[in-house]
Amino acid sequence: MTLTADSDARTDLGLAWDHRFAALGPDFFTELRPTPLPSPHWVGTSPSVAQLLGLDEAALHSDEALQAFTGNRLLAGSRPLASVYSGHQFGVWAGQLGDGRAILLGETASGWEVQLKGAGRTPYSRMGDGRAVLRSSIREFLCSEAMHGLGVPTSRALCITGSPGPVRREEIETAAVVTRVARSFVRFGHFEHFAANGQEAALQTLADYVIDRYYPECRDGTGLAGNPYSALLQAVSERTARLMAQWQAVGFCHGVMNTDNMSILGLTIDYGPFQFLDAFVPGHVCNHSDSQGRYAYNRQPNVAYWNLFCLAQALLPLIGDQDLAKQALESYKTVFPEAFMVQMRAKLGLVEASDGDGALIDGILLLLAQNGVDYPIFWRRLSHAVGTQDMEPVRDLFADRAGLDQWLLLYSEHSMHMDLAHQADLMLKTNPKFVLRNHLGEQAIRAAKLGDFGELQTLQRLLERPFDEHPGHDAYAAFPPDWASSIEISCSS
Ligand code: AMP
Ligand code: MG
């Protein structure tokens, strides 16, 4: 058993590196090594993420990969670091945070940042142990891949490794490391950090880096009075608005929308106490630690705007004009409702916008809430019903049948010019059969704790292609069992 990271890295697993974040300089991070874990083993791998990185099957499943992705051996060419950021947590300025348990191995030559989450303490760990437990790592791994399967922008997950190494939470659990991948892990909180510390040069370096790498169109000088920083704020506002529209449409609650968990690329990142809605309860709070309900499902779009406001304040020294910053931020208020309508029209299989779409959508959301209808099952049943023209399976979901029938009448008027088979086909490609409900994740976790990763693999396979029927797996698309409501997911991870 090796307990010190092997300093003479012998393998690169075929990965080539180009460390662009690291080139920003020491104001932005601390270089360090992951802390090894004893006796690592595989928990899960994602072949599609391996393909993204150009990692072949043999390399992915090698012992070198197991050691490297647990943090026990450095990959040749990697340059591990933990980045510094700050942020607002639950509406309050929290000061410096930083990668407390994430270690960036670097950026591949093909432009993917690769991070180990749970690979030991960093200078930003504060009181934390730098570790992640198996259950939360499985949730992050599965949800990253599930969101990607749903077409929602997200960080990806290459693999999870586990170790018998003990980790103390409410009880003693075991350690795991998720290797996650994104074009960039830069957060709103990175900008807030340098703004709060009055480090304007670093703030500009970071903004220029993000623009040049990820938003080159903001340089072209045509948008927002030729100010690249307000153009950046506008672009991030628009991406975030589209992401929120997708979260709301798919029924995803993030749970901890602190500014340090907001991606500058508009990706879903930092999966913690997230949840996909079972019954449609607009005020649902998925994070057991969120006693005020700040991050309730129906508050997410407003919270995102609040977070963008924090980003705007951080960028203000660069933008140099408050009105310009406000104008950039305002784009959120037009893009979010538009993007939400696009998402909801797609769920209804309506190809063209028409008058009264808003009322149609508001109408069904109100009925779903009043009747406490299961959100994914409603949309999937409606998709089938449009094709078969048998509405009974949909009507069965509602206590208020008269209310639903009225709505169905309105819906059929909206669908009048559509070919129903085509409409149903579109809907079945928009409304997933499989989502990562809490109880499904929990089942995979319980099995994994006993050393059985079959459940995790099955779930992963279903969630990678959530719109396919997957015959023989209807149990994974069924109503949640009664015990699902007693699952408590908190920030403890
Ligand atoms: P979160 O809201 O869970 O994404 O994390 C907020 C902050 O706490 C970030 O700076 C994390 O890196 C840090 N953090 C969370 N858990 C741990 C841990 N177990 N050890 C060290 N830092 C942690
Ligand atoms: Mg975080």
Nearest CA to ligand 1 atom 13: 100
Contact call for residues 142 and 125 (beta carbons, < 8 A): no
Does the residue 84 lie in any domain? yes
* pLDDT tens column, 341-376: 999 999 999 999 999 999 999 999 999 999 999 999
| Among candidate residues 428, 462, 477, the one where a domain is terminated | 428
Total domains in the chain come to: 2
Mutation choice for ligand 1 from 90, 93, 97, CB with most ligand atoms inside 8 A: 97
Distance from CA of residue 374 to its chain's centroid?
Answer: 22
Does the residue 77 lie in any domain? yes
How many whole angstroms from 158 Cα to the centroid of ligand 1? Answer: 20
Does the residue 483 lie in any domain? no
**Domain that residue 153 falls in:** 18-182
- The verdict on whether residue 100 carries a ligand-binding annotation is yes
* pLDDT tens column, 401-437: 999 999 999 999 999 889 999 999 999 999 999 999 9
- The verdict on whether residue 126 carries a ligand-binding annotation is no
Does the residue 247 lie in any domain? no
The chain-wide mean pLDDT, for the chain, equals 96
Q: Which residue has the tokens 């079972």?
A: 278
- Tell me which residues have their CB within 5 A of the ion that is ligand 2: 261, 270
Task: Return the ligand number nearest the Cα of 128.
Answer: 1
How many whole angstroms from 102 Cα to the centroid of ligand 1? Answer: 9
What pLDDT sits at residue 488? 87
Contact call for residues 398 and 404 (beta carbons, < 8 A): yes
Mutation choice for ligand 1 from 124, 131, 137, 193, CB with most ligand atoms inside 8 A: 124
Confidence of residue 1 (pLDDT cuts 50, 70, 90): very low
What pLDDT sits at residue 9? 56
What is the percentage of the chain residues whose pLDDT exceeds 70?
A: 97
Separation of alpha carbons 457 and 47, rounded Å: 12
How many whole angstroms from 84 Cα to the centroid of ligand 1? Answer: 12
Confidence of residue 2 (pLDDT cuts 50, 70, 90): very low
Separation of alpha carbons 71 and 132, rounded Å: 13
How many whole angstroms from 265 Cα to the centroid of ligand 2? Answer: 15
- The verdict on whether residue 349 carries a ligand-binding annotation is no
What pLDDT sits at residue 160? 98
Q: Where are the beta strands (DSSP E) in 129-220?
A: 132-133, 156-168, 172-182
Pocket lining: 99 vs ligand 1, CB cutoff 6 Å: yes
Residues annotated as catalytic are 260
What pLDDT sits at residue 222? 62
Nearest CA to ligand 1 atom 14: 100
How many whole angstroms from 116 Cα to the centroid of ligand 1? Answer: 13
Task: Return the ligand number nearest the Cα of 97.
Answer: 1
DSSP of 86-154, one letter per residue? EEEETTEEEEE---SSEEEEEEBTTS-EEEEESS---TT-TTS-S-EEHHHHHHHHHHHHHHHHHT--B
Task: Return the ligand number nearest the Cα of 287.
Answer: 1
Does the residue 198 lie in any domain? no
If you ran DSSP here, which 8-state letter would residue 73 be given?
A: B
What pLDDT sits at residue 417? 87
Atom of ligand 1 nearest to the CA of 258: 2
| Among candidate residues 381, 405, 428, the one where a domain is terminated | 428
| Among candidate residues 119, 152, 182, the one where a domain is terminated | 182
The structure tokens listed for 40 are: 């690592």
CB atoms within 10 A of CB 137: 28
What pLDDT sits at residue 4? 44
Pocket lining: 261 vs ligand 1, CB cutoff 6 Å: yes
Single-letter amino acid code for the residue at 433 = K
Atom of ligand 1 nearest to the CA of 102: 12
**Higher per-residue confidence, 222 vs 186:** 186
Does the residue 158 lie in any domain? yes
Does the residue 105 lie in any domain? yes
How many whole angstroms from 87 Cα to the centroid of ligand 1? Answer: 12
Atom of ligand 1 nearest to the CA of 99: 12
Does the residue 344 lie in any domain? no
Separation of alpha carbons 375 and 252, rounded Å: 11
Nearest CA to ligand 1 atom 6: 97
The answer to which of 61-65, 221-225, 256-260, 387-391 has the lowest mean pLDDT is 221-225
Task: Please report, to the nearest 10 degrees, the dihedral formed by the alpha carbons of residues 115, 436, 240, 383 taken in order.
Answer: 150
Mutation choice for ligand 1 from 84, 99, 115, 126, CB with most ligand atoms inside 8 A: 126
Separation of alpha carbons 137 and 140, rounded Å: 5
Angle, CA 44 vertex, CA 40 and CA 48 arms, to 5°: 130
Residue 182's contacts (CB-CB under 8 Å, 6 or more residues apart) are 112, 113, 115, 155, 156, 263, 265, 267, 269
* pLDDT tens column, 437-473: 999 999 999 999 999 999 999 999 999 999 999 999 9
* pLDDT tens column, 48-104: 999 999 999 999 999 999 999 999 999 999 999 999 999 999 999 999 999 999 999
